[in-house]
Amino acid sequence: MKTQQIDTLIGLTLAALFLPKVMGLLLVIFNDDKRRSYGGLLPLLASVIGEILFSALLAPVMMLFQTLFVVTTFSGHVVSWDAQARDDRGLSWIEGVRRHLSHTILGVVWSGVMLAFAPDFFWWLTPVLFGLILSIPLSVLSSRVDFGVASKRWGLFLTPDETRPSAELRRLRRAIARGPGAIVDASSNLGAGDPLTPPESGLPMPHMEWPKEARSSLRDRLIAPG
């Protein structure tokens, strides 16, 4: 009876975790247009498998971080949750060790305890244990720009915005490719086909206005370093 209940619990847990992914994947697979927008069938399947494996390894690390935040809050201390770094600075090995050394030690000790006292359960816990043990290289390598560029070159983890960017993004990239001069010159940027084109150009923003201050602010952001 207990075995049946355990099997039922595992089945329901797996269904809750993977059924939405499987349903979304099937919707894309059986639609030729959507399938191509994600890079094709084989890259899409490889991307889904890679995302599942990475998420499984990342989950125990996130669990520890979130648990620490909750315990710290209940203990009366202020918890700071800073904004994510959106640039491409990456994570150095030194910073990775500083942030995840405790996770790695916990994973190693926990693995030793399980092998010594409950070896039959060790393999059930391998996703959690390996996620903790590999937390440093996972964080460092997944933050590297060259890893993301290589993944895109291999056709992995693509989105429709990358394979079929919107007209606004295409025009913005063309303006940036022409150099800062094309962006600084407001009069040229307000011509047809440029990212700062006014409403009468046919953009789906008929009531949008382009005051001089807004154009200057956007211009400064576009030519800012990075």
In a domain, 19, yes or no: no
Instruction: Determine the pLDDT at residue 110.
Output: 95
Same domain, 105 and 135: yes
Instruction: Determine the pLDDT at residue 108.
Output: 96
Quote the DSSP letter at residue 196: T
Terminal C-alpha separation, the chain: 61
Same domain, 148 and 200: no
In a domain, 15, yes or no: no
In a domain, 40, yes or no: yes
Among 148, 163, 178, the domain-final residue is 163
Among 131, 163, 195, the domain-final residue is 163
Same domain, 61 and 114: yes
In a domain, 181, yes or no: yes
Same domain, 40 and 125: yes
| pLDDT by position in tens, the chain (length 226) | 667 887 888 889 889 989 999 999 999 999 998 999 999 999 999 999 999 999 999 999 999 988 988 888 888 887 777 777 667 778 899 999 999 999 999 999 999 999 999 888 888 889 899 999 999 999 999 988 888 889 989 999 998 888 888 888 888 778 777 765 555 544 444 444 444 444 444 444 434 445 566 666 666 766 665 5
Instruction: Determine the pLDDT at residue 124.
Output: 85
Q: How far apart are CA 193 and CA 13, in angstroms?
A: 50
Task: Residue 13: name the closest of 114, 133, 124 by CA.
Answer: 124
Same domain, 172 and 154: no
Same domain, 122 and 134: yes
Same domain, 140 and 192: no
| Tokens coding 213 | 């201050």
Same domain, 100 and 212: no
Same domain, 49 and 111: yes
Same domain, 58 and 107: yes
Total tally of structural domains belonging to the chain: 2
In a domain, 84, yes or no: no
Same domain, 136 and 190: no
- Domain hosting 67: range is 31-74+90-163
Same domain, 153 and 175: no
In a domain, 136, yes or no: yes
Whether residue 20 contacts residue 139, with contact meaning beta carbons closer than 8 Å, is answered with no
Q: Is 39 exposed, middle or buried (0-12, 13-18, 19+ CB in 10 A)?
A: buried
